[in-house]
Chain A
Amino acid sequence: MAFPVDPIIFDILTWLFILPGAVLLIIGGIGMITMPDVFARMHPAGVIDTLGCELILVGLMFQAGLTIVTVKLALILAFIFFTSPTATHALARACLNAGVTPRVDEEKSAALSRGGRP
């Protein structure tokens, strides 16, 4: 380590990043099972792919220090950060092209289109 900081602080920082990441991963996994249709399931997939994944990778970075390992972790992080929304966008367009329509609450959308409160 290049700077004189107590190493225990890196362990604490790792815990602080990995624990929320793990919780978000499990929340996303539960959401993948309980959500009603494809378009709703894209949201928990986004939770897994963005914050859950990246908090864990940042937590690993604190253990690696200023080495090539951190650079590789940053590359993985940046790549997932850009490709996950792209893949989800392509999937949503493929769904709409194939005729899969999102489930809509008819009463609420009718009330909203009349300008009233849902």
Chain B
Amino acid sequence: MSFAAAALAVLVTMALVLVRALKGPTVFDRILAVNAFGTLTVLLISVVGFLQGRPEFLDLALVYALINFIGTIAVTKFIKFRDMGHGEQAAGPDAGDI
């Protein structure tokens, strides 16, 4: 029962965050919203695993948390440099310093 309440709260929050990801005036709003959405996905996978009595889903949640962080950093770097990085010659002295 407590798992169902948690899953409901996570789903409602996902809907609210998704509204911001669709509306966001700048690209940074969207990145922020998608990052929060990824964290909520990790939570939802964990809670649904408990809800169905299959806590093995936590492995998926762990991998998703890792990918979410790497993805956010990669997209932020891409937005800043328009490039995934070719060293300091191509991107300037500030490259990699994010």
Given contacts A38-B32, A41-B20, A97-B80, A22 and B72 within 8 Å (CB-CB): no
Q: For A91, list chain B residues within 8 Å (CB).
A: 28, 31-32, 35, 72, 76
Secondary structure of the A side of the interface? helix
Residues of B in contact with A (beta carbons under 8 Å apart): 2-3, 5-6, 8-10, 12-17, 19-20, 26, 28-29, 31-33, 35-36, 39-40, 42-43, 46-47, 50, 55, 58-59, 61-62, 65-66, 68-69, 72-73, 76-77, 79-80, 94, 98
Residues of A in contact with B (beta carbons under 8 Å apart): 11, 14-15, 18-19, 21-23, 25-26, 28-30, 32-33, 38, 41-42, 45, 48-49, 52-53, 56-57, 59-60, 63-64, 69, 72-73, 75-76, 79-80, 83-84, 86-88, 90-91, 93-95, 97-98, 100
